[in-house]
Amino acid sequence: MKQLTIFLIILFYSNVSSQDIKWNTVTKNEYNPIQLISRGVVTLDNGDKTPEADLYIDFAGETIFYRNTINNAIYSIYKEDFKSISLNEYEDGKDVNDGAFYGDVGEEIAASLRKKLYEKADLNFITITSVKKEGFFTRNQPKFQVNDGELDVSNKSKVSAKLIGINLRRIEYLDEDGDLWDRGNYAGFLGLGGVETTSDDKEKRKEARKSARILNINFGNKFFLNTRALYDYFYNEYEKNFYQSLEDFKNDYIGMNVKDLLKDWGPNSQLFELDSNTFEYVWVFERTVTEKESSTTGTMSSIKKALTKSTTESTGSISTSYGINTNASKYNLGGYGSIMNSYTKVNKNSFLNYYSTNVTSQYSQTQTSFSSQTRGTDISVDDSKKIGVIVNKDLIVTDVLEKNYFPTPYYGVEIRFVED
């Protein structure tokens, strides 16, 4: 009887309703647009006040774009062109001078404008519980207590957030206050969206969060001790969905006429007659991975550091953690994207649609200027993607074969939910 009781408890616990992972991406405009929009009034250098209008604010470029409501003319207003600005969505239209607008309170203003994007962003919801770090040499010390018969921490704080991306060590998220974070288990960085601030109680709270130790992360009624544990959960689902969706991908095309594939995928590269009643159509997307071993003497300045290994040329390089090197576009490489584009019409809800987007997001472009002498050896490796279909004499697809078409998922890949 005891064994039965224990079994029932475990069964109930494992079936607690949980939030499914949203395998989709949002554009940067949906959570951190280059231009934030607010109704407001600009006080110009000569003292004139503009009529209230929609202001398009680029904090990074320190530019306000103003459109007249009558003749529809649009103007760029720079920092030196105005004295102050009043935004309806920031402290009830409080006047902010030009220096503060792009200075101390800039990130606070940007966060207040991003706040309305938080609810709209179709991203995975998480709750992060952390505790403030106490002193430089003292680790974040939680003050444990028993509360209503359960272990609790008295000096904890909770943050509701939308997940932007996660890897083995760090997570990026947009919190309910409109702040963007990139953080690990013991430290965080604020300011992905603009200028950092250091004043008032709200800003002190932000500063405290930067050094806060994560106690746990809640996603879908599941608790995870740290970012690594959360990543493991997401990666396991990522990998499982990939292999299941790959089988679905093949099955979805069985029964279709190859003529329809030729319309969507483009001309096939090869055709094989297997027997008098069976043929194989093959599409080949040629790619080459160049591995370079070299020694360089000289000086170098890198504009952006690549995430992983790369091949370097005088004009720069494109690298990817999947090892695909190309100077073409990220996705539509020699027609490579045409198959996934057409598959969206066949199965728009397939995980592979997300998977393909995440694969392309692993690319990091590096531009490097240098004065040096380089000696080395280049080794080119064929990394061509192949996909084929077996058809009968009526040109109906009976099987789908693929070789290296979809990069195999690997532990450590970054899982992102935004299109950068």
The verdict on 229 and 251 lying in the same domain is no
CA–CA distance, 130 with 155 (Å, rounded to integer) = 9
The verdict on 140 and 100 lying in the same domain is no
Q: Bigger pLDDT: 193 or 227?
A: 227
Q: Could you say which DSSP state residue 316 is in?
A: B
The lowest-confidence range among 126-140, 199-213, 250-264 is 199-213
The verdict on 170 and 319 lying in the same domain is no
User: In this structure, is residue 10 part of a structural domain?
Assistant: no
What confidence score (pLDDT) does residue 406 get? 86
The verdict on 115 and 149 lying in the same domain is no
User: In this structure, is residue 14 part of a structural domain?
Assistant: no
CA–CA distance, 170 with 164 (Å, rounded to integer) = 11
Would you state the torsion angle of the CA atoms of residues 72, 78, 79, 82, taken in this order, to the nearest 10 degrees? -40
Dump pLDDT digits (tens) for 26-41. 998 899 888 999 999 9
The verdict on 70 and 42 lying in the same domain is yes
Instruction: Look at residues 301, 305, 316, 309 and name the one whose alpha carbon lies nearest to residue 370.
Output: 301
CA–CA distance, 200 with 91 (Å, rounded to integer) = 14
pTM: 0.75
Beta-ladder partners of 163: 173
User: In this structure, is residue 222 part of a structural domain?
Assistant: yes
Q: Bigger pLDDT: 369 or 134?
A: 134
Would you call 222 helix, strand, or coil by DSSP?
strand
**Count of all residues that appear for the chain in the document:** 420
Mean pLDDT value across residues 51-59? 94
Would you call 231 helix, strand, or coil by DSSP?
helix
Mean pLDDT value across residues 74-78? 95
pLDDT over 80 at 128, yes or no: yes
The verdict on 245 and 377 lying in the same domain is yes
Q: Are 162 and 118 in contact (CB under 8 A)?
A: yes
CA–CA distance, 278 with 147 (Å, rounded to integer) = 71
Residues 6+ apart with CB under 8 A from 180: 31, 32, 114, 164, 172, 173, 174, 190, 191, 192, 193
Q: Bigger pLDDT: 15 or 71?
A: 71
- Cα→Cα distances 158→13, 205, 217, Å: 24, 12, 9
3-state secondary structure 90-155: CHHHCEEEHHHHCCCCHHHHHHHHHHHHHHHCCCCEEEEEEECCCCCCCCCCCCEEEECCEEEECC
Dump pLDDT digits (tens) for 195-223. 444 445 556 555 655 567 889 999 999 99
Q: Are 55 and 40 in contact (CB under 8 A)?
A: yes
Read off the tokens for 400: 């789908």
pLDDT over 60 at 319, yes or no: no
User: In this structure, is residue 365 part of a structural domain?
Assistant: yes
User: In this structure, is residue 15 part of a structural domain?
Assistant: no
pLDDT over 90 at 137, yes or no: no
CA–CA distance, 61 with 42 (Å, rounded to integer) = 17
Q: How many distinct structural domains can be found in the chain?
A: 3
The verdict on 206 and 336 lying in the same domain is no
User: In this structure, is residue 73 part of a structural domain?
Assistant: yes
What confidence score (pLDDT) does residue 363 get? 53
The verdict on 115 and 127 lying in the same domain is no
Mean pLDDT value across residues 131-156? 78
Final residue before a domain boundary, out of 69, 96, 119: 119
Confidence of residue 64 (pLDDT cuts 50, 70, 90): very high
The verdict on 229 and 259 lying in the same domain is no
User: In this structure, is residue 16 part of a structural domain?
Assistant: no
Mean pLDDT value across residues 221-229? 94
The verdict on 408 and 295 lying in the same domain is yes
User: In this structure, is residue 18 part of a structural domain?
Assistant: no
How many percent of the chain have pLDDT more than 70?
Answer: 70
What confidence score (pLDDT) does residue 183 get? 85
The verdict on 276 and 258 lying in the same domain is yes
Q: Are 404 and 13 in contact (CB under 8 A)?
A: no
Residues 6+ apart with CB under 8 A from 165: 171, 172, 414, 415, 416, 417, 418
Instruction: Look at residues 21, 412, 407 and name the one whose alpha carbon lies nearest to residue 231.
Output: 412
Q: 298 — alpha (psi -120 to 50), left (phi > 0) or beta?
A: left
Read off the tokens for 109: 């203003």
The verdict on 268 and 184 lying in the same domain is no
Final residue before a domain boundary, out of 72, 101, 119: 119
What confidence score (pLDDT) does residue 191 get? 54
What confidence score (pLDDT) does residue 9 get? 35
CA–CA distance, 110 with 285 (Å, rounded to integer) = 44
Return the number of other C-beta atoms located less than 10 Å from residue 392's C-beta: 12
What confidence score (pLDDT) does residue 320 get? 33
Dump pLDDT digits (tens) for 324-373. 333 333 444 444 577 888 898 899 999 999 998 888 776 543 334 444 45
Dump pLDDT digits (tens) for 378-414. 667 677 789 999 999 999 999 999 887 888 999 999 9
Tracing tokens 């029964």 back to the chain, one arrives at 255
Q: Residue 70: give its domain's CATH number.
A: 2.30.30
Confidence of residue 136 (pLDDT cuts 50, 70, 90): very low
Final residue before a domain boundary, out of 119, 137, 158: 119
Q: 11 — alpha (psi -120 to 50), left (phi > 0) or beta?
A: alpha
What confidence score (pLDDT) does residue 213 get? 81
Domain that holds residue 161: 122-233
